[in-house]
Amino acid sequence: MKEETKIVVAGRHPEDNFGIVNAPVYHASTVLYPSLAELQKTHAARAAGERVVSYGRIGTPTTWSLEDAVAELEGGYRAQVFPSGLAAVSHAMLAFLKSGDHLLMTDSVYGPSRIFCDNVLSRFGIEVTYYDPLIGAGIADLIRPETRLVYVEAPGSQTFEMQDIPAIADVAHARDARVMMDNTWASPLFFKPFDHGVDISIQAGTKYIVGHSDVMLGIVTTTKDCWPVLQKGANMMGQTAGPDDVYLAQRGMRTLSVRLKQHMVNAIAVAEWLKGRPEVHSVLHPALPDDPGHAIWKRDFTGSSGLFSMRLKEVSKDAIAAFLDDLELFGMGYSWGGYESLIILADPTSYRTATTWDNTNPLLRLHIGLEAVEDLIADLEAGFNRLNAAK
């Protein structure tokens, strides 16, 4: 089956539900058992890792429907939902790490994931070393006997470096470490983590899977080998997600392929236009042919999403504010992956530790939504006019 077909078909079982197309929303905590024997049988099955309806927190056909669909799209074995992308990131790490372990973390990781490492993992005696996202096979020099996880994210948050994930995975596996990836940018449509050596893949479902800026959700997919560890870890930490949010995520996911392809086209058009602007120093988008990460992107990814950055030529804070404050279509706000365009000012120098970043050229991260490209460009053009007037 092609990816577009999987997005429509995966995880649905109308035959179990009166022929109704979408999975039903089960609101459940208590599950009743007809007899002691039945109760004990169900709990033994659950302890053995079987999928049984036993208690709301452990999962229902609503959660399994989304989990199965995402696992199939990612190309992994099984998946687990979490109440946010960050909960997926933090609980995946907690499931696979223990006191005394060492984690190798890309310096271009999503900010809150970094805050979790520095403030929570450190309290449990788990050491974190940040590495240059462009390190590739050079990661070998940083791996220690106690290194259990190498965490990758491509392209990097805000700065969009492409990582050579197969090269990193080869080295990590040879040294008995697992590879965990934040695959939110490409979504499972445009990058297949398990074909590139990833063992544990994380989606902030909040972004493109939900697609409508109205639900928080995270999903972790693993290989068969890693699954029992992740599943037990999630269950012991009480992790699940509310059925209405899971339903909305599944509803959003069915249109992922049409949405994402349009985000891709719109974003490339806006990125190309920005490159020609005299106010712009550079555009950071791996699908652009002269981007430093383009060769890796082209080798490993099948598409690009709507998120990229640009760096402005040196300009005052007031001029940036004049540009941003009166944009009509670009909202100023965090998150991304919905149908609408967004823009934020970011400063990678405020967090990077393993690599240096020069913020002389201010960085703006854009999410290109599903509006007409002409309208988005007109909005940005008016912004540049304000910026130039305020210089």
Ligand X SMILES: *Cc1c(COP(=O)(O)O)cnc(C)c1O
Residue with smaller CB distance to ligand X, 204 or 322: 204
| Contacts of ligand X in 101-140 (CB under 6 A) | 110
Print the binding letters for residues 186-205 with ligand X: x by CB under 6 A, - otherwise.
------------------x-
Minimum CB separation of residue 218 from ligand X in Å reads 6
Compute the least distance from the CB of residue 387 to ligand X, in Å: 27
182 tagged catalytic: yes
Is 346 a binder of ligand X (CB under 6 A)? no
Q: Round to whole Å and give the CA distance between 196 and 25.
A: 34
Active-site option among 26, 101, 110, 114: 110
The catalytic position among 192, 207, 311, 365 is 207
Q: Which is nearer to ligand X, 108 or 266 (CB)?
A: 108
What minimum distance in Å lies between the beta carbon of 211 and ligand X? 13
Question: Please, what is the minimum distance in Å from the beta carbon of residue 186 to ligand X?
Answer: 10
Chosen residue from 66, 73, 86, 180 binding ligand X by CB under 6 A: 86
* Interface segment toward ligand X; rule CB under 6 A; list 28-36, 46-54, 79-87, 273-281: 79-87
Closest residue to ligand X, judged by C-beta, is 85
User: What tokens were used for 167?
Assistant: 């090269």
Is 98 annotated in the active site? Answer: no
Stretch that binds ligand X, among 21-29, 81-89, 320-328, 380-388 (CB under 6 A): 81-89
| 300 is known as an active-site residue | no
335 touches ligand X (CB under 6 A): yes
Q: What is the 3-state secondary structure (H, E, C) of the chain?
A: CCHHHHHHHCCCCHHHCCCCCCCCCCCCCCCCCCCHHHHHHHHHHHHCCCCCCCCHHHCCHHHHHHHHHHHHHHCCCEEEEECCHHHHHHHHHHHHCCCCCEEEEECCCCHHHHHHHHHCHHHHCCEEEEECCCCHHHHHHHCCCCEEEEEEECCCCCCCCCCCHHHHHHHHHHCCCEEEEECCCCHHHHCCHHHHCCCEEEEECCCCCCCCCCCCCEEEEECCCCHHHHHHHHHHCCCCCCHHHHHHHHHHHCCHHHHHHHHHHHHHHHHHHHHCCCCEEEEECCCCCCCCCHHHHHHHCCCCCCEEEEEECCCCHHHHHHHHHCCCCCECCCCCCCCCCEEEEECHHHCCCCCCCCCCCCEEEEECCCCCHHHHHHHHHHHHHHHHHHC
Select 253 or 315, whichever has its Cβ closest to ligand X.
253
Q: Answer yes or no whether residue 304 interacts with ligand X by CB under 6 A.
A: no
Residue reference for tokens 């007109």: 378
Residues in region 247-286 near ligand X by CB under 6 A: none
Q: In this complex, which beta carbon is closest to ligand X, that of residue 149 or of residue 315? A: 149
Shortest gap between Cβ of 69 and ligand X (angstroms)?
Answer: 18
**Neighbouring residues of 145: CB distance < 8 A, sequence distance ≥ 6:** none
Binding mask 150-189 for ligand X (x = CB under 6 A): -------x------------------------x-x-----
Of 54 and 113, which CB lies nearer to ligand X in the complex structure? 113
Is position 123 annotated as part of the catalytic site? no
Residues that are catalytic: 57, 110, 182, 207
The site for ligand X (CB under 6 A) is made up of 84-86, 89, 110, 157, 182, 184, 204, 206-207, 216, 218, 335
